[in-house]
Chain A
Amino acid sequence: MRIGFFIGCNVAFNRPDLELAVRFALPRLGVTLEDIEGQSCCPTWGTLPSIDLAGWCALAARNLALAEKKGVDLVTVCSTCYGSLTRARNVILSDAAVQQKVDALLREVGKEYKGTSRARHIVYFLLREVGRERIREATQNCLQGLRIAIQPGCLTLWPRRMCQEGEEDPFHPTALKELCAALGATVPYYSRLLDCCGMGGMRSTDLSKSLILVERKLRSIKEEANPHLIVTGCSSCLLQLDMAQEFLLTRQRIHFKIPVLHYAQLLAICLGADIEKVTAMARLKADYVFARIFG
C-alpha cells in the first residue's frame, strides 16, 4: 500500500531521528512511503487557525491536495498535524462558505482539493492497514520482558467525532497498547494515562504551569507502572516528556529518568534499525534498555 509522508515541523527540525525511523520502518512492513514535495506546516493552532478560518483551511487543503494529486493519503507521527489537517478537512466538507473561499485561494496557486485525501495518524494506520499480526511476525516478540508506559497524545483521541478511525472509547484507549503488545512488551495501566503532557500553547505561555502537568504525569508513570520506557504516539509528547525530565531532575523535583520513544522509533529498532541513529536527538538515551534485550 502507498501512503504520503507528512513530516511536520517539529519532526523535521527538532526530531529528525523520528523522521528517519518512519522512513526505515514503514517500507519494511510493506508500505510504500511517498515523499510529498512542497508540503508546509499543517498549519499549527497558534498560527493561521488563530487568525483566519478560511486561510487555515486553505493551507491545510494545499497539503492534502498535494497528496491527492499523487493518489495517496498522508500519514503523520504528530498529533497536532493530524488534528489540524483533520479538523480543517472537516470544516471544508461541512461548511459551503468556507469551502468556496478555500477553492478560490487554492485556484490562485494552481491547486485543487476535491476532499478525497485525508490525514492518517501512524498509530491507527499501523493498526488498521499493517495489522498486529504482520508486526508480530516481523519483530518476533523481541521486547519480551519489557515494561512500557504509553502516552497516546490528545489529538489522536479527541474529539472522537472528528477522528475517522480513532478509538472506540477515547477514555479507554487501546490502539497504542495493542501495538506495543504486538512487539512482546507488557503495558501496565497507570492512573494519569489520559493526562495531557503540557506541551503546546501552555508550555509557551506559562512554563511552570506546563511543568505541573508533566511532573504529575511522570510521577504517576514511575510509581504505578515503573516502566523501562515511555512510548508515545505524538511527536510533541515525545519532545515534552524527554526534555521535561532533564529539567525536573536538575531542579530535584523528580529523582528518576525514563527514556522516551515515539512508537515509530521503537518499531524501527525492533525491525533492526541502528539505535544510535533512530534515537539520535533523544536527551535521555535508551541504549541501555535495548542492550539488555539485543545483547
Chain B
Amino acid sequence: MLLFKEPDPTIFDPTQSDPGLADTVRTLGAADIFACTQCGKCAAACPLVLTGFPFFNKRLIQTILMGFKELLLNDASIWACQSCNRCTEVCPQGIDSFGIILAARRFAVSEYALPAMAVEGLRSLYETGHAVHLAEAGPPRKKIGLPEKPPTTLASSKALGEVQAIMRRTALAKLGIIPMGPTGESLYGITDKKLW
C-alpha cells in the first residue's frame, strides 16, 4: 500500500540554478554542508520519510548544493522536521544534518517563506517570552496549588524587556514579520500585567 502519492517527476534546468545558494546557507549555520556524499543514511532514519513527506534531509541538502532555490522555497516539509536529531546521529560524514535543516529555514525565512504557525510562535515569544502561551492557564494552575503565573517572563516585565531587547537585535527585526514595539512593550498594548 502506498502511504502517499509519488510527486510527478520534475525536470531541472541547471542553467536556472543559483550557484551562490549553498554558500549562503553555509554561512547561516551549515558549516559542514559540502561534506555530504548523498549516501541517504539520514533519510533512512528520518520520521519525515516514514510518514511520506516528499522533501526531507537528503533531498534538501542536494537541492541546496545544486542551487535550486525555488524548490527549497516552495515546499513546507522543512517546517515539519521533528528536530529529533536522528539524522545528525547517523550521518557517516559526521555532518550535523539537523543543523542544515535549521540553516535552510533561516534562508527560507529571509525570503519570507515561512508558515503561519511559525509567525504565531514568534509573536507569542516576543509578547510573553513563551512560544507556547495559554492566556487561560492561570485558573487551572491555581486550582492545583501553583501560582497563577509561573516565575518566568510572565511574572517580570524587566525579564520580558530583556528578551524583547535581544529579539530586536536579531534578523527578526529586519524582516518585520511580527510587530515589535520599540519600547519593550508590544504594539498590541499587551503588557505582562494584562496577560491573564
Specify which of A158, A200, A205 lies most central, judged by the most chain B CB atoms within 10 Å of its CB. A205
Query: In whole angstroms, how far apart are the Cα atoms of A24 and B64 in the complex?
Result: 49
Query: Which chain A residue shows the least CB distance to B177?
Result: A51
B79/A17 in contact, CB under 8 A = no
Asked if B105 lies at the interface with its beta carbon under 8 angstroms from chain A, I say yes
B52/A209 in contact, CB under 8 A = yes
A37 and B151 in contact, given A17-B144, A83-B85 (Cβ under 8 angstroms)? yes
Tell me the minimal C-beta distance from A141 to chain B in angstroms. 28
Asked if B44 lies at the interface with its beta carbon under 8 angstroms from chain A, I say no
Asked if B93 lies at the interface with its beta carbon under 8 angstroms from chain A, I say no
Asked if A36 lies at the interface with its beta carbon under 8 angstroms from chain B, I say yes
B80/A206 in contact, CB under 8 A = yes
Contacts of B89 in A (CB 8 A): 157-160, 170
Q: What is the total number of residues of chain B having a CB less than 8 Å from a CB of chain A?
A: 68
Query: Which chain A residue shows the least CB distance to B82?
Result: A200
Compute the total of residue contacts between A and B using a CB distance below 8 Å.
220
Query: In whole angstroms, how far apart are the Cα atoms of A200 and B79 in the complex?
Result: 10
A51 and B86 in contact, given A12-B130, A13-B132 (Cβ under 8 angstroms)? no
Asked if B145 lies at the interface with its beta carbon under 8 angstroms from chain A, I say yes
Tell me the minimal C-beta distance from B138 to chain A in angstroms. 9
A40/B159 in contact, CB under 8 A = yes
Main secondary structure of the interface of B (DSSP, over half): helix
Q: What is the total number of residues of chain A having a CB less than 8 Å from a CB of chain B?
A: 69
Query: Which chain A residue shows the least CB distance to B152?
Result: A39
A280 and B131 in contact, given A37-B156, A39-B152, A159-B89 (Cβ under 8 angstroms)? no
A109/B162 in contact, CB under 8 A = yes
5 contacts between A and B (CB under 8 A): A37-B152, A38-B151, A39-B151, A48-B172, A213-B51
- Top 4 A-B residue pairs of the complex, sorted by shortest distance between their CB atoms: A38-B159, A55-B170, A154-B84, A205-B80
Binding site for A on B (CB under 8 A): 3, 28-29, 47-48, 50-53, 76-77, 79-86, 88-89, 96, 98, 102-103, 105-106, 109, 114-115, 117-118, 121-122, 125, 129-134, 137, 140-141, 143-146, 150-153, 155-156, 158-163, 165-167, 169-172, 175
Binding site for B on A (CB under 8 A): 7, 9-10, 12-14, 16-17, 19-20, 23, 35-41, 43-55, 58-59, 62, 80, 83, 91, 105-106, 108-111, 154-155, 157-160, 162, 170, 195-196, 198-202, 204-206, 209-210, 212-213, 277-278, 280-281
